[in-house]
Structure 1
Amino acid sequence: MGSGEVIRYLSRYGSDRVSRLAILSGTAPFLQKTEDNPEGIEPSMYDQMVERRTQDRPKWFADNAPPFFGAGLPGISTSPERMQWGVQMCLQCSAKATIDCCEAVYQTDFRAEMTDIKLPTLIIHGDADQSAPVHLCGRKSSQLILDSRYIEYENGPHGLFITHADRLNADLLHFICGSSRMAAPASR
Structure 2
Amino acid sequence: MNVQQTLAAFGATAAIGPLRCGESLNDVVAALGAPWDIGRVSERRRWPHLFSYGDVEICVCRCRRITMMCLQAWRDTIALPAPGSATIASHPGGLTLAHVTDALDAIDCRYRPVTLHQPPGQMALEAATTGVAFTFRTDVEAQPLLDTAGSWTTTHTCAPLPSDLPDDGLGAP
Whether these two folds match at TM > 0.5 is: no
TM-score, normalised via structure 2 length:
0.28
Query: Higher helix fraction: Structure 1 or Structure 2?
Result: 1
TM-score, normalised via structure 1 length: 0.26
